[in-house]
Amino acid sequence: MTRKKNHDQCAGCGQTKDLFPLSTQMFCQGCCDLITGVIDNPGDLERLLKMAETKSESRQADDDQQAGEMKARELPDVLDAVRYRTTDRDRNTWYVSVSELDGHPVEIFASTAFDRDQHLQSRISNLTTITRLISLILRHIFLGERLTLEKTLTQLNRSSRQRNDLPEMLAQVLSHYTKKQNLYSERDVESP
């Protein structure tokens, strides 16, 4: 910032007088001070953004992910719910309950009066899988709950009603990836 120029345009604000070279561009004194201040004290920018309740567009996705991880809300013990009665193409009656928090769906359940019927067991198992995974996604969207492979496997295992049904098979296949992840992290720890 030792050389002063009186031409060009500030790359930050567009000012055309009293410009200084910084990196490969020209900036006015105010923009130079701002840029060097952010470089020297990156935490100050985050505090300023929070105070102004705005976010940089380039960091929006990262901030959203971090905010979700930091601000994940727990489900309360009691939730409001809406129950819907519907009929499938085979004329079986199903009850779908949607639990809500602050007007947002955070869980979905489905059941039938005939859940002891062996003929429906496979369909019930698949439906349970679908609703558990949808609930996991809803909690991620509306509560900021972090999605992980382990949570997905837990929901698949809880959905299984019979040995070798679809949820159990999916869980078995996906569990191989948790073993691979563990192997990769062990290799990372062991390597110099």
Residues 47, 110, single domain; the answer is no
Whether the CB-CB separation of 127 and 165 falls below 8 Å is answered with no
Which pLDDT belongs to residue 93? 85
Whether 70 has a pLDDT exceeding 60, the answer reads no
In a domain, 167, yes or no: yes
Residue pair 6/28 in contact by the 8 Å Cβ criterion: no
Give me the pLDDT at residue 164, please: 85
Same domain, 102 and 164: yes
Asked whether residue 14 is assigned to any structural domain, the reply reads: no
Amino acid at residue number 1: M
Say whether both 39 and 94 belong to one domain: no
The domain in which residue 165 lies consists of: 80-190
191: confidence class by pLDDT, cuts 50, 70, 90:
very low
The verdict on residue 123 lying in a domain is: yes
* Highest-scoring range by mean pLDDT, 37-46, 125-134, 177-186: 125-134
Angle between helices 118-143 and 149-159 (to 10 degrees): 150
Residues 106-160: tens digit of each pLDDT: 999 988 877 666 777 777 888 899 999 999 999 999 999 999 999 999 999 999 8
Question: Helix 118-143 vs helix 166-190: angle between axes, to the nearest 10 degrees?
Answer: 40
- CB pairs under 8 A, 24+ apart, for 93-99? 94/127
